Structure 1
């Protein structure tokens, strides 16, 4: 980006300082998932091939896969530690996703979560919003862990998560476990909600045309319902928007509703490289982007049309989904499939590596996908 936008050096380095520990207005944390870990490993294949060659050849395949996954998490958590210390645990966290967590039971999720938490002091355990996931969240919160609830697509899931966090904190208090340094976020995968083909299929079934703008209004409506619930609960958790999308309108202008029309209440954001570059382009054009400072009104006619679609209702209303339906929600299933593909890619990398020559000494790698707040 520095090469592509040389006149925006100060803005870019402010967002992406060389040392995240020195960040004042830019990087505040980072996140992982199997797809992102796969991308990072492939981008620095030589370094991670060298790491794999240090493992015993007799090591079982699943253990070797886990060792590679954990090493990437360690590499990404380490450069954020200074920021964690400087901000007294407010920033500098790395969300480490439990791979395959969308199908694991409570005991397996808790066990794997504790393993990830032990990798570094700034690990926030990333757990999917399934029935088993929320039981695991309560248990891990009771043990003093920091939590990121991912695969969240509905107000019902948020409601269950907030109850799990509250119950876990009460248990921690009763057993003398400190939660003073713990942090809790709920990741609403906002751009995935509207992108799910089932949404459009149900609209057609109701003889409704669901345009691109309608989908964005639907996502914003669910976001606002989530923030209203969090406000009523007075929870220590915060809402994190991920899967943000940049759109281009009919006149060729770029927008990001997920940034520009949210933020009236404290909101965290996961920023992908594409979103960061969008921010740079807008800054270069003299039209910088900042989250909204006031609530955006959902057009009544649009909301009326959306309420005729079950997919939207299930996401928008408390009780729209029951506990056992969370893991069957279409966007949840799509996200789970992406996890499976990410893990397959990592396993393929390991298989190819074992057939390649031994290690060559290379510089260490630190990689992350960024998070910020408004």
Structure 2
């Protein structure tokens, strides 16, 4: 790293096509990330729950205010109001980037209710609502069967999407095709697509996680090192397809577990949404910042993954999963369960404000 760059991540965004996003809408974490070159951020129920826990001092008065001003609202309504406001606050921090980049960058992703993963109309309705929260919102929709339908419709209606709960090449390709259909519908009606910058996430670390779960569950013995390449292999494969077909959707990597989830993807015309703790570690590391996106995964690693893991075949092969199978793929199920649990934990936090436990002394 040369003296002209304040950190490795700052060097990456200034010397390659790869963009940095902050994998949180936390005010404190996003402020740090922007100072190192971040041009976007993301949120989901797990992230928002953690933001509330970490930054309760910033939100407790507002939670009380929303409760007091809306005496007829349920805890569900209060929860989503706070969820939206946390997202909007993150979006406001990115607004200068959004204006500077004329809408190409500077967006905050807000996730739709994970419980609606089977309900396309509900996903569309909430996505369109979220799109109106701020001018620089990117709406997250899960890559399930219903989610693909919603992604096309929401794109047609003019909202920028960030496809999430996605781990595989077939899911990513299905997203890109759905976006193209939505964009072409707009264009056929003379509607502008000039401000459309759709994104598709591949949660590379969660792809690795699922392969490791299978190995433990099924007693598969192989070189453990190869399992750290599953998500990277899927991302590189999908990236090649996207570049060849000139999809207008941009890929985004998420769910970091080790430095290769960052370093092996440097140089790609894509987004890396990195959790704050990993940003700090990467910025303090001596990992060389150089383009590696076009470096293929070693043949022996691919062979090991393809030989030992049927679910990696499904993830790596463009036709490995049917649309219906998106909903039952192991990584999808595990992630939806986690996001739904976090949503209910967030709701429980609001419940404690509305119905404080009378058995406990007030702080």
The TM-score by the shorter chain falls in which range?
A: 0.7 to 0.9
Question: What residue number does 1:44 align with?
Answer: 55
Question: What residue number does 1:261 align with?
Answer: 264
Question: What residue number does 1:125 align with?
Answer: 139
Question: What residue number does 2:312 align with?
Answer: 312
Q: Secondary structure at the match of 1:266?
A: coil
Matches of 1:54 and 1:202, distance apart in 2: 48
Q: Is 2:77 the counterpart of 1:29?
A: no
- Pairs within 5 Å for 1:3-22: 10-11=6-7
Question: What residue number does 1:370 align with?
Answer: none
- Pairs within 5 Å for 1:163-202: 163-196=177-210, 197-201=212-216
> How far does residue 293 in structure 1 lie from its aligned partner after superposition?
4.0
Question: What residue number does 2:226 align with?
Answer: 214
Question: What residue number does 2:76 align with?
Answer: 62
Aligned residues of 2:116 and 2:122 also touching (Cα < 8 A): no
> How far does residue 62 in structure 1 lie from its aligned partner after superposition?
1.7
Q: Is 2:245 the counterpart of 1:230?
A: no
Aligned residues of 2:166 and 2:201 also touching (Cα < 8 A): yes
Aligned residues of 2:176 and 2:247 also touching (Cα < 8 A): yes
Matches of 1:291 and 1:201, distance apart in 2: 34
Question: What residue number does 2:298 align with?
Answer: 299
Matches of 1:294 and 1:164, distance apart in 2: 25
Question: What residue number does 1:249 align with?
Answer: none
Q: Secondary structure at the match of 2:165?
A: strand
* Residue of structure 1 aligned with 2:159, choices 145, 164, 167: 145
Q: Secondary structure at the match of 2:342?
A: helix
- Pairs within 5 Å for 1:342-361: 342-355=342-355
Distance 1:310 1:119, change over 3 A: same
Q: Secondary structure at the match of 1:322?
A: coil
Question: What residue number does 2:256 align with?
Answer: 244
Aligned residues of 2:75 and 2:351 also touching (Cα < 8 A): no
Question: What residue number does 1:327 align with?
Answer: 327
Aligned residues of 1:95 and 1:124 also touching (Cα < 8 A): yes
Larger RCO (CA under 8 A, 6+ residues apart): 1
Deviates more, 1:19-28 or 1:147-156: 19-28
Matches of 1:13 and 1:334, distance apart in 2: 30
CA-to-partner distance for each residue in 1:279-307, whole Å, 9 max, x for gaps? 2221xxxx254253463232323322222
Report the TM-score when normalising by structure 2.
0.84
Structure having the larger proportion of residues in helix:
2
Question: How many residue pairs end up in the alignment?
Answer: 335
Aligned residues of 2:8 and 2:289 also touching (Cα < 8 A): no
Q: Secondary structure at the match of 1:111?
A: helix
> How far does residue 22 in structure 1 lie from its aligned partner after superposition?
11
Query: Which runs of no fewer than 5 residues in structure 1 stay unpaired?
Result: 1-8, 247-255, 358-374
Matches of 2:160 and 2:122, distance apart in 1: 17
> How far does residue 47 in structure 1 lie from its aligned partner after superposition?
3.6
Aligned residues of 1:185 and 1:238 also touching (Cα < 8 A): yes
Matches of 2:47 and 2:35, distance apart in 1: 25
Distance 1:52 1:294, change over 3 A: closer
Aligned residues of 1:263 and 1:293 also touching (Cα < 8 A): yes
Matches of 1:21 and 1:300, distance apart in 2: 38
> How far does residue 219 in structure 1 lie from its aligned partner after superposition?
2.2
